[in-house]
Amino acid sequence: MVALLSAAPAFAEDLEFTLNNVTSSDLVEFYLSPVGVSNWEENLLNGAFLPAGNTIQVTVGDGRTVCTYDVLSVFKDGDKVEERGVDLCTLGSYTLHQ
């Protein structure tokens, strides 16, 4: 299980949030891209996975001051969920549901 995802040490500009997988399938890929960016950025799970029913702390260490992201979640069973315009700064967490 992944305990912390971080591309760099946390700084004031880095985005930190809790990722909750309350589905019945393991999360195998998780992408964020700032709203308006046409391509998905790197897979934040980086080869790991988030088991069903588990939670991890995510740090996006890109130094941006962006809060609103488009989110793509890919599950082991092949399902993909895309959500646009998620304000992760205000929410402080992101929960994946069935």
Confidence grade of residue 9 (pLDDT, cut at 50, 70, 90): very low
Cα separation, 51 vs 29, in Å, equals 11
Number of domains into which the chain is organized = 1
Confidence grade of residue 8 (pLDDT, cut at 50, 70, 90): very low
Q: What CATH number is attached to the domain comprising 73?
A: 2.60.40
Q: Domain containing 76: what range?
A: 4-96
Is a pLDDT exceeding 80 seen at residue 2? no
Is a pLDDT exceeding 70 seen at residue 1? no
Are the C-beta atoms of residues 70 and 86 closer than 8 Å to each other? yes
Cα separation, 42 vs 27, in Å, equals 15
pTM: 0.83
Following DSSP, what letter does each residue of 26-48 receive, concatenated? Answer: -EEEEEEEETT-SS----TTTT-
